[in-house]
Structure 1
Amino acid sequence: MLQKLRDKTTGWIAGTILTIVTIPFAFFGVESYMSQRVETYVARIAQPPSWWKSAPQVWPVTYLWHIEDIDAQEFKERLENARINMRNAQGENFDAKAFESVENKRRVLDALIDERLMRMTAHNDGIVVSDAEVADNIRQIPEFQVDGAFNADRYQMLLASQNPPLTPRAFEAKVREDLATNLIPARIARSAFVTDLELDRLMRLLGEHRDVSFVAIPAPAADTAPVTDAEIDAFYKAHKDEYRSPEMVRLEYVEVDGNTLPAPAADEAALRKRYQDEIAKFSSPEKREVSHILVQVAANASEADKKAAEARAAKLAAEARAPGADFAALARANSDDTGSKAAGGDLGWITKGSGMPGAFDDAAFAMQPGEVRGPVKTDFGWHIIKLNQVQPGTQRSFEDVRPELEKELQEGGREQAFNELTGKLVDAVFKNPTSLAPAAKALGLQVQTTPVFSRAGAPGIASEPKVLRAAFSDALVQDGTASDPIELGPLRTVLIRVIEHQPEQVQPLAQVRAAVVASIRAERERKAADAAAEALLKAARTQGLDAAAAAAGLAVARLDDLPRRSPAPVPPQPLVEAFFNVPRPQKDAPVLGKTRAGGQLVVFAVRAARDGDIGQVTPQERAQLRTQVAASIGAQAQDAFIRAVRKHYVIKVAEDRL
């Protein structure tokens, strides 16, 4: 039997079967059959291999494709940043519900996808950013500058203060990646230009003037005709979405305001100890204003070069100490320090231990004002140092700073009391998260309630964006439990619980019947106005606007030489746009039109049109317009490039994860 089994498992047939079975294991591994993978991406970008652009997206060829995912966390962070920016820009007009719409989320995701595509494209095209360009861009970042110049100490301090902290190497890598990602789109945008002929044509168009006559259609008489039940029912069914009540909640909450807690009494011994502990804060070190001339010596310089540099430094030092010597002129002519040479060697004010080389520091703080000392040897070479001014250090007395210390001590005590009370409240609420009353009672705090409110908010804590986000979150609405502490400001926090929830819903007809009837009557009046305007327009096409208006008993207004960019509030801008959106009249035949502006229908006739006089345009206006138009064309070209790039990738969006 064993021999038969062996015979059956040898030969080319068995080998072929074994090869077929082995292929999946070679691609995926045994573990892929033993475990399940949960996809969490919001968008997936797939690209065929560079050596097989037409590779089909079928198994197992898909495993040759390059795949990059935008995960849910990355999208969530970008969405939150967009929410913060929009709220800051719109203030009280920010609509949280509109922001959470699928369309808006998709816009945010599309921007994220475009960034990733540009990064992938830059990598595929082999774009490399030099160290010099990275350094130059970092030096130009205003946050890293002091008095308009890059400051290394500020640079490192700001990076260390990030959450999480950034090392210079990590930040430089991020800058390098951003520069590579934006290189092609930015260059495309900046490559746009406008020819003189195009600019002339545009200026003639923008400076165009038109002669217009128009008739404002009077509002029709108020509709008083009966509205039947059938009309009401039909209108309501066709416009149900207009009669939706927004999602509403009512909260109970407990607020802890540390600013109302009693301040601890000031203890004299504690105040004096705090003064001694923080004495450096109340002192300013001695400052010295120095200038120098540097004779640079390379680390690998020969002995002869070193001696020559020392001799040159000694000669310059002697010249600088000579009576009547101009130290600044010597520095400008001879210093090897490119940073201070143009300023006559001026290094500004320094303090002991502020970063200057040790030997330089020791010499500068051992000199008298006006003294020249050197040569002084450091790792940079030889220095000739001149002390210009001395600003003595100061120290404020205990009596002088006592009010500040007392205030700090009281604020610290109040903060400690606030933290302790908040911690006890949170612990008590978490033991019974379905009610705030027991915890509040135990700590002597008050449970308050809000009126019912929508996502638009309400006075009090319901106007706080953080409270609004939590109040309408699924967790609080569905579970009915208390929230985590919500920080409203320094020493001010609140815990909330949803005690009533009304989902968004269509209001019943009985409740909105009066509003439906009003809408029907308004619709009738609108149609009556449209019919009157259409009748006047039809008559004007055969009789002319003046005759048609006279026959209808309506007045005709005339606007001669109306500029396209009319600064006046009358006529309103929408009406001006309508006048200029119709074609120019040909052979003295007016162009007729109809529009609605400010809720009123207007029938108009454009009688004549004239180009703007480009001779009246100043060179500054011309240059400004050229810049604006080129920027607009560049932005369009950039968008076109990104759309073209998208065609080379397969992009899949997980709509259910937005």
Structure 2
Amino acid sequence: MLQKLRDKTSGWIASLILGLLIIPFAFVGVNEYMTGGTASDVALVEAPPTWWESAPQWWPVSTLWQREEVTLDEFRTAFEQARQQQRQALGDAFDPREFESADNKRKVLEQLIDQKVLALGAQRAGIVVGDAAVQKMIMSEPAFQVDGKFSPEQYQMLLSSQVPAISPLQFQEQQRDRLRMMLVPQAISESDFVTEGEQARMWKVLGETRDIGIALLPPVAEDAAPVTDAEIKAWYDGHKDDFKQAEQVSLEYLEINGATLRVAATADEAALRKRYEAEKSRFVSPEQRVVAHILIAADAGADAATLKKAEDKAAALAKQAREGADFAALARANSEDPGSKDQGGELPPFAKDGSMVKPFEDAAFAMQVGEIRGPVKSDFGYHVLQLKQVTGGTGRSFEEVRDELAAEETNAERERAFNDLAGRVVNETLKNPTALAPAAQATGLPLQKVGPFSRNDPQGIATVPAVLRAAFSDTLVQDGTISDPIEIAPNHSVVIRVTQHTPEQSLPLDKARDAVVLAIRADRREKAAQAAADALVARLQKGESLATIAAAEGLRYNALPGLRRGMPMPTAEANEAIFAAGRPAQGKITAGKVALGNGAYAVFTVDKVTEGDIAQMPAEEREGMRQQMAQLNGGIATQAYVDALRKRFKVKVFEERL
């Protein structure tokens, strides 16, 4: 068989056909090998080479396409940041299960894709950010400033406190990338402007005022007319979704509360003294030093000549200080640390705890008061130090801290008891995950019950948001298993089990009858109130005066000249209805009605409309409005720029990796 195949594929024609078939397969294979996303990517942004914008993806030249990847780690970090922001904003109402939605994940991913699109756009545009721009941005960051001025020590301390720590060089490159990415969008946003005509037209609408009259109609009397069985049946059939019993659960639970656990009443004296000796450093205020310094700045990566020049200058200043020159005056005249220069080089007190760069800290804590030392080299350059003062290093006696230690010992004992009991509860629930009674019997905790209750009407322990979420979770409802411990407060938790679950269901007519009757009567009352308002509007449209009608019928009436758009008068909904009403014709009025809730209505007349006049606006307010409009327009233009870039690039999203 193989020989026959070989015979059939011999000859130059067959060879040519096979060759032509091999070429595209080879190119496709190479292209897939060179451009395929890795398992660590959740999205890939690709752009053709700038010299061939229309290059097809399948052609081998696509191996020269520029790429930016959204890695899985980047996505997870951004999603966790979004989670923490949402948790802080919502507090106890935050639902972690709800936050883990596909929509939220895609929203975070879209933001990251936009960043990569901007980075790729900056790269293709050949944007370069110089060292001076990076330095200016870092020095203007408030977090790196002390008393409004950049502090190298504060800068170093904050970078080293990150997890993991970031070196100044790494941070500078991160900020360089950020500046490069945001340069064009920021320029687009800041270059937007608003003409006087645009602002005037906008204020014509926003600054519009209306002279109105408004009357509040009295509430319609409660409906007492009989409701027939036919009406009840018809209403129920037409509004079945309004008559449902909410999903309900019943729980059994064990509560583990460290505050109620019995522990030893008094702490052992010998144990307290032993602990005091072991932890004596806690009760000693750390030694702090007050140092003045002169910084001669020099980048760690500078050439040897630059470093030598800075070192020589620092050495000369140190010599002058040792010979009696005023150190503060030398610092004001020569120091390149803007955070301390104006204070004569004096820094806030600091301990030997890594808050200062190590060479600086080591030198400071090896000096005697009044001593001058330097040059001392650090990543920022060369320092000349003067030790001005040593403070701290004092401690409290055992007698002074005994009560504090005893309270800590009691709390520690209570925490140990809590952890021990919680561990025993968990062990027992693992043995029998579908019933809490055995765990209650083994640990001596009372088995408590609550319910049935709905999400909107929780009871007892279920009023705790975390417990309520767990009670209606799919796992506990469907499996009937015991929950993991749910923390209510420190050293206070519960484990719960759903003992009964009733899904949401339509109420039969016999159980919904009273609610249906109430709904029918409420509808009748609403229609009566609406009809009364419509009748009053009809009278106004025929030419009667609202003030006259109100006086005759005892209605509460108010004339509101110069009502502004957006003012909640008498309610936000009423204001919206008033400004949605048409303009009155010359010598006429426009009449309308608005529902105020609970069956109440108001009837209004628009007597006069005055357009906003930008010339009457104070200059300061006018400038503020112009800036807001420019900022809004700039944001729209920036997003349009990002959208246009995305259309030029190819974006691949790997949904399965989210």
Q: State the 1:529 CA deviation.
A: 3.5
Whether the aligned pair in 2 keeps the contact of 1:317 and 1:374 (CA below 8 Å) is no
Structure 1 range deviating more: 442-451 or 15-24: 15-24
TM-score by length of 2: 0.77
Change in CA separation of 1:105 and 1:506 when aligned onto 2, cut-off 3 Å: farther
Change in CA separation of 1:386 and 1:20 when aligned onto 2, cut-off 3 Å: closer
Between the aligned partners of 1:384 and 1:361, the Cα distance in structure 2 is 13
- DSSP-derived class of the 1:289 partner: strand
Q: State the 1:510 CA deviation.
A: 2.2
Match of 2:289 in 1: 288
Match of 1:594 in 2: 593
Structure 1 range deviating more: 282-291 or 375-384: 375-384
Consecutive unaligned residues of structure 2, counting only runs of 5 or more, are 34-38
Between the aligned partners of 1:74 and 1:360, the Cα distance in structure 2 is 36
The yes-or-no answer on 1:312 pairing with 2:316 is yes
Q: State the 1:543 CA deviation.
A: 3.3
- Per-residue CA deviation, residues 213-258 of structure 1 (Å, 9 max, x unaligned), is 3444554454445544444333333322222332221111112122
Match of 1:159 in 2: 162
- DSSP-derived class of the 1:386 partner: strand
Match of 2:481 in 1: 481
Whether the aligned pair in 2 keeps the contact of 1:263 and 1:414 (CA below 8 Å) is yes
Structure 1 range deviating more: 350-359 or 439-448: 350-359
Change in CA separation of 1:643 and 1:447 when aligned onto 2, cut-off 3 Å: farther
**AA of the residue aligned to 2:236:** Y
Match of 1:249 in 2: 249
Q: State the 1:327 CA deviation.
A: 2.8
Match of 1:300 among 301, 304, 311: 304
- DSSP-derived class of the 1:395 partner: coil
Match of 2:502 in 1: 502
Q: State the 1:434 CA deviation.
A: 0.6
Q: State the 1:482 CA deviation.
A: 0.8
Q: For 1:235-634, what aligned pairs fall within 5 Å after superposition?
A: 235-264=235-264, 265-293=266-294, 300-301=304-305, 309=313, 312-313=316-317, 316-317=320-321, 321=324, 326-335=326-335, 337=337, 340-351=340-351, 355=356, 361=362, 365-368=366-369, 371=370, 373=372, 378=377, 384-456=384-456, 458-546=458-546, 549=549, 557=557, 559-564=559-564, 571-598=570-597, 599-611=599-611, 617-634=617-634
Change in CA separation of 1:274 and 1:542 when aligned onto 2, cut-off 3 Å: same
- DSSP-derived class of the 1:159 partner: coil
Structure 1 range deviating more: 434-443 or 505-514: 505-514
Change in CA separation of 1:228 and 1:56 when aligned onto 2, cut-off 3 Å: farther
Match of 1:120 among 116, 119, 135: 116
Q: For 1:214-229, what aligned pairs fall within 5 Å after superposition?
A: 214-220=214-220, 222-229=222-229
Whether the aligned pair in 1 keeps the contact of 2:367 and 2:387 (CA below 8 Å) is no
- Per-residue CA deviation, residues 611-652 of structure 1 (Å, 9 max, x unaligned), is 456566444433333333334444444555566666667889
Q: State the 1:564 CA deviation.
A: 0.7
Whether the aligned pair in 2 keeps the contact of 1:360 and 1:378 (CA below 8 Å) is no
Q: State the 1:131 CA deviation.
A: 8.1
Between the aligned partners of 1:269 and 1:609, the Cα distance in structure 2 is 86
Q: State the 1:495 CA deviation.
A: 1.4
Whether the aligned pair in 1 keeps the contact of 2:122 and 2:181 (CA below 8 Å) is no
Q: State the 1:188 CA deviation.
A: 4.5
Change in CA separation of 1:284 and 1:536 when aligned onto 2, cut-off 3 Å: closer
Whether the aligned pair in 2 keeps the contact of 1:209 and 1:611 (CA below 8 Å) is yes
- Per-residue CA deviation, residues 476-530 of structure 1 (Å, 9 max, x unaligned), is 1111111122222211222111111111222222221222222223223333433
Between the aligned partners of 1:350 and 1:367, the Cα distance in structure 2 is 15
Q: State the 1:444 CA deviation.
A: 1.4
Between the aligned partners of 1:474 and 1:209, the Cα distance in structure 2 is 54
Whether the aligned pair in 2 keeps the contact of 1:254 and 1:447 (CA below 8 Å) is yes
Whether the aligned pair in 1 keeps the contact of 2:247 and 2:455 (CA below 8 Å) is yes
Change in CA separation of 1:657 and 1:407 when aligned onto 2, cut-off 3 Å: same
Change in CA separation of 1:402 and 1:596 when aligned onto 2, cut-off 3 Å: same
Change in CA separation of 1:74 and 1:179 when aligned onto 2, cut-off 3 Å: same
Between the aligned partners of 1:654 and 1:236, the Cα distance in structure 2 is 48
Structure 1 range deviating more: 431-440 or 487-496: 487-496
Match of 2:212 in 1: 212
**AA of the residue aligned to 1:272:** R
Between the aligned partners of 1:333 and 1:558, the Cα distance in structure 2 is 71
Change in CA separation of 1:254 and 1:650 when aligned onto 2, cut-off 3 Å: farther
Between the aligned partners of 1:558 and 1:303, the Cα distance in structure 2 is 80
Q: State the 1:303 CA deviation.
A: 12
Between the aligned partners of 2:159 and 2:627, the Cα distance in structure 1 is 37
Structure 1 range deviating more: 80-89 or 616-625: 80-89
- DSSP-derived class of the 1:543 partner: coil
Between the aligned partners of 2:268 and 2:353, the Cα distance in structure 1 is 36
Match of 1:36 in 2: none
Q: State the 1:386 CA deviation.
A: 3.4
Structure 1 range deviating more: 593-602 or 465-474: 593-602
Q: Percent identity?
A: 41
Consecutive unaligned residues of structure 1, counting only runs of 5 or more, are 33-38
Change in CA separation of 1:439 and 1:629 when aligned onto 2, cut-off 3 Å: same
Structure 1 range deviating more: 537-546 or 72-81: 72-81
Whether the aligned pair in 2 keeps the contact of 1:539 and 1:548 (CA below 8 Å) is no
Q: For 1:85-234, what aligned pairs fall within 5 Å after superposition?
A: 89=89, 94=93, 100=98, 108-109=104-105, 111-127=107-123, 130=129, 151-152=154-155, 154-156=157-159, 158-160=161-163, 165=164, 187-203=187-203, 205-220=205-220, 222-234=222-234
Match of 1:8 in 2: 8
Change in CA separation of 1:272 and 1:281 when aligned onto 2, cut-off 3 Å: same
Match of 1:35 in 2: none
**AA of the residue aligned to 2:114:** M
Between the aligned partners of 2:577 and 2:14, the Cα distance in structure 1 is 80
TM-score by length of 1: 0.77
Change in CA separation of 1:74 and 1:350 when aligned onto 2, cut-off 3 Å: closer
- DSSP-derived class of the 2:407 partner: helix
Change in CA separation of 1:357 and 1:578 when aligned onto 2, cut-off 3 Å: closer
Between the aligned partners of 1:476 and 1:60, the Cα distance in structure 2 is 55
Between the aligned partners of 1:72 and 1:240, the Cα distance in structure 2 is 47
Structure 1 range deviating more: 509-518 or 60-69: 60-69
- Per-residue CA deviation, residues 352-378 of structure 1 (Å, 9 max, x unaligned), is 58546659855775434xx45356565
Change in CA separation of 1:142 and 1:444 when aligned onto 2, cut-off 3 Å: farther
CA RMSD of aligned residues (A): 5.0
Q: State the 1:125 CA deviation.
A: 0.9
**AA of the residue aligned to 2:537:** L
- DSSP-derived class of the 1:588 partner: coil
Q: State the 1:317 CA deviation.
A: 2.9
Change in CA separation of 1:456 and 1:197 when aligned onto 2, cut-off 3 Å: same
Change in CA separation of 1:448 and 1:542 when aligned onto 2, cut-off 3 Å: same
Whether the aligned pair in 2 keeps the contact of 1:313 and 1:382 (CA below 8 Å) is no
Between the aligned partners of 2:652 and 2:510, the Cα distance in structure 1 is 46
